[in-house]
Amino acid sequence: MTEKEKCEAGLLYNANYDQQLISERVACKDLCLEYNALKNSDTQNRTQLIKKILGNTKENICIEPSFWCDYGYNIETGENFYANHNLTILDCAKVKFGDNVFIGPNCSFYTAGHPLDVKQRNEGLEYAHPITVGDNVWLGGNVVVLPGVTIGNNTVIGAGSVVTKNIPDNVVAVGNPCRVIKNIDEK
C-alpha cells in the first residue's frame, strides 16, 4: 500500500519522505504562490487559477489572497463560496464546503493530525481525517477546524473558535473548545 493510499484510508502514513506526496504538495504550493501574486483586479485569471488548484468548485467562488493548501484536489466548494484573507486548508483528506459558506479572515482547516506516541511522531507519521462544512454556514475570523469535524447546515461559528468536535445544524457555537451556545430559530 502506498503512503497516499494509507492516507486515503485514514491510516498512519508518512508524508515527509514520500516522493509522490512531496511532488504533489510542491506543485500545489507553486500554484498557490502564483494565485496569491495575481492582482485583485485580474478576476478572470484568479477564477481560472483557483478552479485549477481546487478539486471541485461550483461557479461562484471567491477566495481572497493569501490562500494556501497542501494538495488542492481534496477541496470541494459549493455555490456562493467566499473566504476572506489568509485561508489555510491542510487538505491531506477531503475538505467539503456546502453552498453559501462564508469564511472570515485567518481561518484554518486541518485534516492532518499527528500521533500521541512520540516514536511514531518522530518518524514523521501522521493521519488525515476529512472535514465537512454544511450549507449556509458562517465562520468568523480566526476559526480553526480540526481533523474529522463536521459542521452542520445553517450554523454560525464565532470568531476565534477552535472546533474540535462535530457541530449540529442550526446553532451558534463559540469558544475553545467550540461549543453550542444557542439554537437558531428558522423564523
Angle between helices 43-53 and 19-37 (to 10 degrees): 170
Q: Quick one: pLDDT at residue 187?
A: 58
Residue pair 123/144 in contact (Cβ under 8 Å)? The answer is no
Question: Which residues are 109's β-sheet partners?
Answer: 89, 145
| CB-based contacts of 163, cutoff 8 Å, min separation 6 | 143, 144, 145, 146, 149, 151, 157, 173, 177, 178
Q: For the segment 18-69, what is each residue's pLDDT rounded down to a tens digit? A: 999 999 999 999 999 999 999 999 999 999 999 999 989 999 999 999 999 9
The average pLDDT across 13-19 equals 92
Q: How many helices (H) and strands (E) does the chain have?
A: 4, 19
Under a CB-based contact definition with an 8 Å cutoff, are residues 164 and 177 in contact? Answer: yes
With a CB cutoff of 8 Å and minimum separation 6, the contacts of 164 are 146, 149, 177, 178
Whole-model pTM? 0.95
185 band by pLDDT with thresholds 50, 70 and 90: confident
Establish whether the linkage from the previous residue to 66 is cis, with ω within 30° of 0.
yes
Is 85 among the residues known to form the active site?
no
Locate the domains of the chain by residue range: 3-183
- The catalytically annotated residue of 51, 114, 129, 179 is 114
**How much is the average pLDDT of 155-171?**
98
Q: Which CATH architecture has domain 3-183?
A: 3 Solenoid (2.160)
Pairing verdict, β 171-174 and 179-183: antiparallel
